[in-house]
Structure 1
Amino acid sequence: MKNVLLLIVLFLLAGFVEAEELVSPNGMQKLQFEVVDGKPVYQLYYKGKAVIAASSLGLDLKDEADLLNGFEIEKTEQSTFDESWKPVWGEVSEIRNHYNELAVTLRQTETDRLMVVRFRLFDDGLGFRYEFPEQPNLIYFVIKEEKTQFAMTGNHTAWWIPGDYDTQEYSYTKSKLSEIRGLMQQAVTPNASQTPSSPTGVQTALMLKTDDGIYINLHEAALINYACMHLDLDDQNMIFTTHLTPDSRGDKGYMQAPCTSPWRTIIVSDKAGDILLSHITLNLNEPCKIEDTSWIKPMKYIGVWWEMITGKSSWAYADLPSVQLGVTDYSKVSPNGKHAANTAHVKEYIDFAALHGFDGVLVEGWNEGWEDWFGKSKDYVFDFVTPYPDFDLEEIRDYANAKGVQMIMHHETSGSVRNYERHMDQAYQFMVDHGYPAVKSGYVGDIIPRGETHYSQYIVNHYQYAIEKAADYKVMVNAHEAVRPTGICRTWPNLIGNESARGTEYEAFGGNTPDHTTILPFTRQIGGPMDYTPGIFEQDVSKYNPDNNSWVNSTIARQLALYVTMYSPLQMAADLPETYNKYLDAFQFIKDVPVDWDDSKVLEAEPGDFITYARKEKGTDNWFVGRTNDEEARTSSISLDFLPEGAEYVATIYADRKDAHYRNNPKAYQINRYVVTSKTRLDLFCAPGGGYAISLIKADAATDLKGIRKR
């Protein structure tokens, strides 16, 4: 009997003799790492409960021995880091970066190769990555697949979109993990470019909730010189495994030591709002590399855009089946009469921007080549500097300058990244010469070089090249259809906006679901701000284009709320000026709401149901509140206890009326003003597809409070 017990003890010790533990600064999170039978394995606990069960680590390499097993621990190092840093722009004015770190150096005994797994455990979750030191036996290598696991502890609820190498522009599906495979076919809806990854593949940031109310978010940070990560689910064992985007040859990454992978992130809390307030993604990126950031300034803008999206107007100047830059003579062709980017019309937008205090005007379709830009796999598609005959660059530039308005450039690449790089220096210099501070870039359609996809290592490197090159010219970048953000805006804050998700334009392509904007902050925005282009006041798209029967699934009150809940330092008032002129009382909130913040708080949150944010305007004592609601009518109950004690504020509340509904009465809103304090509580009705927006302006001695009721 003693011998049997001894064997059992020896067996257990053999499995756990190399275990290492790391605890978060507040003691709530715990990491356990061990090498079991030569395989590196980690587990994560929150408040004593496992949230990630035993999960293996490593990479499968091409044409050489893998980095999955045969390891022993050579050394471990633990350390603590605690600093605070100030973002150039953001949701808060200062971010604390506080973590405990465990660096495990692993040696593969048969090959004598080294691999370091570095863990950083924060109060709100875990980040870890692979590091490959300079060494004689591992220099150049090709990744066949990364095999990082995230083992779930149950059949959790997930908010997910299909894994895809080319697009994130999908509606979210809420389901149990076990239901993903069965729902995948209907979740993959048509897109201009798409390459679904696998029958159970999903994209990050992935939002999860356990049956006992623990929220888990899986994502990545600092995606540099590496392929974008998807997650494949083993739905028998509830284990996610990384699935990297392949290049045109099917390879997942070309590496040269010393090098690292991106960070894999796991944010954990029993409060949904804590997921939204986490700064793990930013903290795992390097500090700002731009020495002088004075030229990087958040902007609020309008644009010649929505009228083309709805089909009211055209990007193209003429109706031609084919054009060739430098060959087609536009002065000899007849215009189609629908081209929106003409001098007189753009001046109208500039006038509107100047009248209402907007910083900039975006104009799409100003440059030659739009007649046959899409779907032709066309390499030399745009040159980004040659205007159509009806767009006078100098006249518009001078007119905008005289009005105190800045023009925002548009570079649609049509997926031809080779052509964009061919013209990039010239295009950015053109912007400098004409005073354009920011560019909206686009990557609609299949990628050229042919065979590459939007999220492979090669194309990820192109996006990074564009950002860094833009910084050389002091140009801010708002990238659409690019890879999803992973916090790189900390290092390169001239990346002032991204799309990389299903945005407002889909409201004109059939509509987004009412719960869409209650999910995006938990998923897409974990990596950075989104240029969602809110502010649509006319829900019936046929009013602009009788051939388009789409409907914007939102009340006007919720469109206002999105300026607070969908954070971006680059915010668009996306509807047409003539529509805003009909609702100037509601439009006032869009004029008032800032785009840069000193502080942010989540007052209420549940993914897929509702989110209520309160944000403090940078450099003032004013606060703004926004609530986005799903398809179910609800009452929002909030306290204003974030206001300074004893101070009085004038609250202007833009809310749904009781009869409001996103489908049959979206324009039913009401505006009320009250004097409020930190002791005020508000109960506000939120219609289906509705919400509310509140401006809280601090009263001073000169503020006239007569006739304003106190709450």
Structure 2
Amino acid sequence: MKKWIAIALTMFTVTTNAQKIESPDGVVQLTFEVKDSIPVYSVSYKNQPVLLKSKLGLEVDNGPSFTEGFGIKDFKVNHADEAWQPVLGEVKQIRNHYTELIVYLAQPAYQREIAIRFRLFNDGLGLRYEFPEQANLNYFVVKEEATEFALPGDAKAWWIPGDYDTQEYNYTTSKLSEVPRLFDKSYDGNASQTIAPGTLQTPLMMKTDNGFYLNFHEAALIDYPALHLSLDADRFVLTSHLTPDGQGKKGYIQTPFHTPWRTIIISKKAEDILASRLVLNLNEPTKYENTDWIKPVKYVGVWWEMIMGKSTWSYANINNVHLGKTDYSKLQTNGTHAANTNYVKKYIDFAAKHGLDGVLVEGWNEGWEDWFGKSKEYVFDFVTPYPDFDVKTLTNYAKAKNVQLIMHHETSSAATNYERHFDTAFAFMDKYGYKAVKTGYVGNIIPRGEHHYSQWMVQHYQRVIDKALQHKVMVNSHESVHLTGLHRTYPNWIAAEAARGTEYEAFGGNNPEHTTILPFTRLIGGPMDYTPGIFQTQLDYYFPGDKRFVQTTLTKQLALYVTMYSPLQMAADIIDNYERFPDAFQFIKDVAVDWDDTKILSAEPGDHVLIARKAKGKDEWFVGGITDEQARTLNIDFSFLPAGGNYEATIYEDGKNADYITNPQSYHIYKKKVTSKTKLVARLGRSGGVAISIRKI
């Protein structure tokens, strides 16, 4: 029975009784109540506590807070069970099945109302705040969000430090109680960096002492600052911490409005975390009327050799460029500029020969000589090529070979300059037939004082997607905000970097465990352009005495095409190295990048990942398995194959003596007849892998 309590001298009738709901399968339970006028909730899994009573609310900069003084005005329980198909994805169809509780809260002292919406899935929870339009609440500024996640005890976590400008860090594995001691050792330098002491970034992956795997993140980040989590390591309580702007404000809100979802994925199995579609389901369906132009892309590019220092983005050896005034035609080239017409033709030829879709070219446009670290606003105009880059000739050459050129827009983090050039930049892409663009945001944001993850920049990334939609262009954003499932709503946001990718192998290295953690963290929010496929892993091949090396075996680089989901996949190495190892390169040629089905065969964050995927529209499967710095044996069960079918598997495995330090290019390839009853034992070297291509006989 609902109990109503009248509050004197107000227009509101409120109640404080608890409301409880269960997930559709009854496994996850949520309890909400107003306790001492403060909204709190708790979560359990099969009646075992996952989150203890945790406070909810927001603090306001220009008015009374939304953290206390509440009563329940009303509530509503809804149920949903539907299926939808992603434009591009890991599975052909996704079930969206949840129980929903909407609690309407009244704050009598200020004659205000808000609602908190909970959606409880079989594998977790999403919650958000909703602010209806009302007389006493039309505009306010968020000082901080006060959403708590109170854990029952200490937990093992895979984490990177809170930073308002970058996620490009190796992960630290520790107990939550150990984070304060390790925090200052958990990060290295970056082109733009603003550490938020005592906070951790999302997605945040944990494993509790009683065997629960928990993943904390957000979904549908629109018009709001990105989420971090402040840690109270003594009480094991995480609290929302939003990215500020240059004035220290968090969010400027006009009602009606709702926040992004705060998400918790819960399971007793690590594999279920990777299989979860909870974050995607909390995003809105796409409103695009036509998505036929949004297609998966496998590409090569003029990039890796510049990253490792073999060639340059810049055309000339100068350091004082005035864009539009500096006459490059009168300058002598530095001799190391890779984005030149003849060299790019070689990449187009290679892509055409091997059936790849596209070629990315960085460093094609004027301005690269004079910008890094200078907070210089007008660096690029996004339409003026260097003298040795003939856009028209290359466009026609690529078109004749059925290869698409991929545009590169490095903004130098001058977001205002990029927006001023939107129309001309995208018109240029229309003119020359570019259908995809890689955007970049290296350096500190302009407008100065903003951060990569502040509300204004979140709005900016959305404006880029909207502008790209007008021109039917797909976007791959680098140095952008973490993804939150928005590729469901905006499927032309085809991929992003937003984490420490392969380029860091040339800068200082990614730990061998890095790619066994990223599927549990960064990829929870959406596809990552990790840029795998480096075959020449030891850089002393180019620079005698150079100690840098990519910390994987060659076979692990193949497996990443399966374990690191993206419908945009780069064969990132210099093409000469693929010509040196044509039998291994065959897997990159064959592997799909869009999928009908995905099976998580085995996984443990920081240890290993083993995944099987079915190619879109084909009776072909691909398997990828990777390990950390420990050599490992993986038992592969082929029961994911249809019963009764006969298949041929091509297995790419580490050689007997393969090792990411001493013998990274040792591999063995063989074929084997397989069925759904086949079991295979694969031995992986240190930081090694196994990749399997399976076709029906």
**Residue 139 of structure 2 contacts residue 253 of structure 2 at CA under 8 Å; is this kept in 1?**
yes
- The residue type equivalent to 1:59 in the other structure is L
State the shift of 1:541 in Å. Answer: 1.6
State the shift of 1:548 in Å. Answer: 4.8
Matches within 5 A, 1:304-383: 304-383=302-381
* Structure 2 CA distance for aligned equivalents of residues 352 and 17 of structure 1: 68
CA change 1:215–1:413 in 2 (3 A) is same
**2:596 maps to what in 1?**
598
* Structure 1 CA distance for aligned equivalents of residues 543 and 500 of structure 2: 22
**1:418 maps to what in 2?**
416
CA change 1:546–1:334 in 2 (3 A) is farther
**2:478 maps to what in 1?**
480
Identity over aligned residues, as a percent?
60
**2:176 maps to what in 1?**
177
- The residue type equivalent to 1:328 in the other structure is T
**2:124 maps to what in 1?**
125
**Residue 126 of structure 2 contacts residue 262 of structure 2 at CA under 8 Å; is this kept in 1?**
yes
State the shift of 1:629 in Å. Answer: 0.6
SS of residue in 1 equivalent to 2:71: strand
SS of residue in 2 equivalent to 1:504: coil
State the shift of 1:546 in Å. Answer: 4.6
Q: 1:274 aligns with which of 268, 272, 275?
A: 272
- The residue type equivalent to 2:519 in the other structure is P
* Structure 1 CA distance for aligned equivalents of residues 429 and 544 of structure 2: 36
**2:496 maps to what in 1?**
498
**Residue 202 of structure 2 contacts residue 227 of structure 2 at CA under 8 Å; is this kept in 1?**
yes
**1:194 maps to what in 2?**
193
| Alpha-carbon displacement from aligned partner over 1:291-345 (angstroms, at most 9, x marks no partner) | 1101000000000000100100000000101101111000111110000000000
* Structure 2 CA distance for aligned equivalents of residues 697 and 650 of structure 1: 5
* Structure 1 CA distance for aligned equivalents of residues 251 and 512 of structure 2: 38
1:63 aligns with 2:62: yes
**2:135 maps to what in 1?**
136
State the shift of 1:48 in Å. Answer: 1.1
**1:31 maps to what in 2?**
30
Report the number of matched residues.
683
- The residue type equivalent to 1:553 in the other structure is Q
**1:166 maps to what in 2?**
165
* Structure 2 CA distance for aligned equivalents of residues 529 and 613 of structure 1: 15
* Structure 1 CA distance for aligned equivalents of residues 30 and 543 of structure 2: 56
**1:75 maps to what in 2?**
74
**Residue 609 of structure 2 contacts residue 625 of structure 2 at CA under 8 Å; is this kept in 1?**
yes
**Residue 648 of structure 1 contacts residue 675 of structure 1 at CA under 8 Å; is this kept in 2?**
yes
| Alpha-carbon displacement from aligned partner over 1:377-432 (angstroms, at most 9, x marks no partner) | 01111000000000000000000011110000000001000000000111111111
* Structure 1 CA distance for aligned equivalents of residues 594 and 53 of structure 2: 41
* Structure 2 CA distance for aligned equivalents of residues 543 and 78 of structure 1: 63
SS of residue in 2 equivalent to 1:311: coil
* Structure 2 CA distance for aligned equivalents of residues 98 and 107 of structure 1: 29
* Structure 2 CA distance for aligned equivalents of residues 507 and 264 of structure 1: 33
* Structure 2 CA distance for aligned equivalents of residues 110 and 17 of structure 1: 16
**2:8 maps to what in 1?**
none
1:543 aligns with 2:525: no
**Residue 317 of structure 1 contacts residue 336 of structure 1 at CA under 8 Å; is this kept in 2?**
yes
Matches within 5 A, 1:601-680: 601-680=599-678
**1:5 maps to what in 2?**
none
State the shift of 1:153 in Å. Answer: 1.0
* Structure 2 CA distance for aligned equivalents of residues 542 and 467 of structure 1: 40
* Structure 1 CA distance for aligned equivalents of residues 570 and 62 of structure 2: 49
SS of residue in 1 equivalent to 2:589: helix
* Structure 1 CA distance for aligned equivalents of residues 371 and 434 of structure 2: 23
**1:683 maps to what in 2?**
681
* Structure 1 CA distance for aligned equivalents of residues 47 and 260 of structure 2: 28
**1:108 maps to what in 2?**
107
* Structure 2 CA distance for aligned equivalents of residues 546 and 393 of structure 1: 36
| Alpha-carbon displacement from aligned partner over 1:586-638 (angstroms, at most 9, x marks no partner) | 00000000110000000000000000000000001110000011011111002
**Residue 16 of structure 2 contacts residue 71 of structure 2 at CA under 8 Å; is this kept in 1?**
no
**Residue 598 of structure 1 contacts residue 616 of structure 1 at CA under 8 Å; is this kept in 2?**
yes
**2:94 maps to what in 1?**
95
State the shift of 1:17 in Å. Answer: 5.4
| Alpha-carbon displacement from aligned partner over 1:411-456 (angstroms, at most 9, x marks no partner) | 0001000000000111111111101110000000000001111000
| Alpha-carbon displacement from aligned partner over 1:243-297 (angstroms, at most 9, x marks no partner) | 0000010000000010000000000000101000111111111101211101000
RMSD across aligned positions (CA)? 0.8
**Residue 311 of structure 1 contacts residue 548 of structure 1 at CA under 8 Å; is this kept in 2?**
no
**Residue 352 of structure 1 contacts residue 577 of structure 1 at CA under 8 Å; is this kept in 2?**
yes
SS of residue in 2 equivalent to 1:348: helix
**Residue 310 of structure 1 contacts residue 544 of structure 1 at CA under 8 Å; is this kept in 2?**
no
**Residue 166 of structure 1 contacts residue 453 of structure 1 at CA under 8 Å; is this kept in 2?**
yes
Greater shift after overlay, 68-77 or 420-429?
420-429
* Structure 1 CA distance for aligned equivalents of residues 101 and 162 of structure 2: 31
* Structure 2 CA distance for aligned equivalents of residues 329 and 166 of structure 1: 34
**2:448 maps to what in 1?**
450
**Residue 558 of structure 2 contacts residue 587 of structure 2 at CA under 8 Å; is this kept in 1?**
yes
SS of residue in 2 equivalent to 1:575: coil
Structure 1: tracts of 5 or more residues without a match: 1-15, 700-711
**Residue 101 of structure 2 contacts residue 118 of structure 2 at CA under 8 Å; is this kept in 1?**
yes
- The residue type equivalent to 2:182 in the other structure is L
**Residue 661 of structure 1 contacts residue 688 of structure 1 at CA under 8 Å; is this kept in 2?**
yes
**1:210 maps to what in 2?**
208
**Residue 311 of structure 1 contacts residue 544 of structure 1 at CA under 8 Å; is this kept in 2?**
no
SS of residue in 1 equivalent to 2:195: coil
* Structure 1 CA distance for aligned equivalents of residues 282 and 512 of structure 2: 33
CA change 1:471–1:547 in 2 (3 A) is farther
**2:283 maps to what in 1?**
285
- The residue type equivalent to 1:587 in the other structure is F
* Structure 2 CA distance for aligned equivalents of residues 543 and 396 of structure 1: 30
* Structure 1 CA distance for aligned equivalents of residues 539 and 463 of structure 2: 38
* Structure 2 CA distance for aligned equivalents of residues 303 and 471 of structure 1: 24
* Structure 2 CA distance for aligned equivalents of residues 546 and 181 of structure 1: 41
**Residue 529 of structure 2 contacts residue 566 of structure 2 at CA under 8 Å; is this kept in 1?**
yes
| Alpha-carbon displacement from aligned partner over 1:107-139 (angstroms, at most 9, x marks no partner) | 011001101000000001000000000111111
- The residue type equivalent to 2:584 in the other structure is A
| Alpha-carbon displacement from aligned partner over 1:174-226 (angstroms, at most 9, x marks no partner) | 0000111111111121011000012x210000000011211000000000000
**1:438 maps to what in 2?**
436
SS of residue in 2 equivalent to 1:520: helix
**Residue 16 of structure 2 contacts residue 72 of structure 2 at CA under 8 Å; is this kept in 1?**
no
SS of residue in 1 equivalent to 2:487: helix
**Residue 612 of structure 1 contacts residue 627 of structure 1 at CA under 8 Å; is this kept in 2?**
yes
* Structure 2 CA distance for aligned equivalents of residues 63 and 451 of structure 1: 21
* Structure 1 CA distance for aligned equivalents of residues 23 and 544 of structure 2: 58
SS of residue in 2 equivalent to 1:371: coil
* Structure 1 CA distance for aligned equivalents of residues 138 and 447 of structure 2: 27
**Residue 310 of structure 1 contacts residue 548 of structure 1 at CA under 8 Å; is this kept in 2?**
no
**1:694 maps to what in 2?**
692
* Structure 1 CA distance for aligned equivalents of residues 528 and 16 of structure 2: 46
SS of residue in 1 equivalent to 2:369: helix
1:298 aligns with 2:296: yes
**Residue 311 of structure 1 contacts residue 545 of structure 1 at CA under 8 Å; is this kept in 2?**
no
* Structure 2 CA distance for aligned equivalents of residues 547 and 574 of structure 1: 23
